[in-house]
Amino acid sequence: MNKKEPFLHKSLLFVGFAGPAVFCFMLVMVIPFIYGIYLTLTSWNGISADKAFVGFENYTAIFQDVLFWNSLGLTILYSAISVVFINVLAFGLAYLVTGGMKGQNFFRAGFFTPNLIGGLVLGYIWQFIFSRAMVSAGNYLNIGFLSTSWLSDPGKALAALIIVSVWQYSGFMMLIYIAGLMSIPKELLEAGIIDGCGKGQSLRYIILPQLNSSFVICLFLSITRCFMTYDLNLSLTNGGPFGSTKMAAMYVYQQAFVSKNYGAGQTEAVVLFLICAAISIAQVYIGRRNEVNA
């Protein structure tokens, strides 16, 4: 009886403290995910009560959906370019504002501010900048590539989307890099100076190897955020012009809710999730392995 009391006590403590969180996680994440998997096996239109079971027809139909693969390829291109620039800029800003410059706390807050603005609002703000402010400045200064709206050109519209994404996310990633830079023991840097290391050598051989965990976190967050972008895509370009910036998340949404083909849309959402998860897991695994080797 005495052995059972500690177990019962621990069980009650677990249920009391972790139970509500586990229940909410199951209710909001696990159950909808499992139900979504079930919907991929149906031809439901998102409205009717009838959910005809079609098996794996939706999965086989994906391979014939050229538009989905085009949007997925565009998403991969957009994510690859954005992730590189986000992390390069974020690390550069973090290195700058931890170097003892005057007003560095003010600059930290300023660089982080864009991340506080919602994607929809941010998209409409930059839509005005690209369509009005830049065009007016280009016409006034007689600069050709600024004289027309970037959002009306299929090539420049994707570049505009990348610029806004980098501007939005780099401030948040900067904070993670700042935390990593601040955690580097000063003794290592002082030892490097004593051994004759310059700033470039200290950065390459001391600072960067110590930031492996920060790189893993920032790459993971930036990959997932860019891969699943929707609100910024909607408000800035709405997939245009001529569908040239329609990302996979927007295509899946339109397939499910606009075209009323919820079963196929849910199937494509699952495929998109699996691809994003595979890329993220591979990146985390490689990053952790390099961290151990370092």
Q: H/E/C letters for each residue in 15-41?
A: HHHCHHHHHHHHHHHHHHHHHHHHHCC
39-82: pLDDT as tens digits? 999 988 888 888 889 889 999 988 888 999 999 999 999 999 99
Among 42-46, 84-88, 204-208, 269-273, the range of highest mean pLDDT: 84-88
- At residue 1, the pLDDT reads 47
All domains of the chain, ordered by start, with CATH?
Answer: 64-293 (1.10.3720.10)
**Residue 252: both structure tokens together:** 């899946």
d(CA 38, CA 263): 9
Q: At what angle do helices 154-182 and 119-128 cross, to 10 degrees?
A: 130
In this prediction, residue 293 has a pLDDT band, given cuts at 50, 70 and 90, of: low
Q: Over the range 82-92, which residues count as b (16 or more CB within 10 Å of their CB) and which as e?
A: bbebbbebbbe
Average pLDDT score over the chain: 87
Tokens describing residue 270? 């699952």
pLDDT value of position 292? 52
| pLDDT of 294 over the 70 cut | no
Residue 147 has pLDDT above 60, yes or no: yes
Q: What is the pLDDT at residue 240? A: 85
* Closest residue by Cα to residue 231 from 134, 154, 121, 144: 121
Secondary structure element (H or E) that encloses residue 5, with its range: helix 4-17
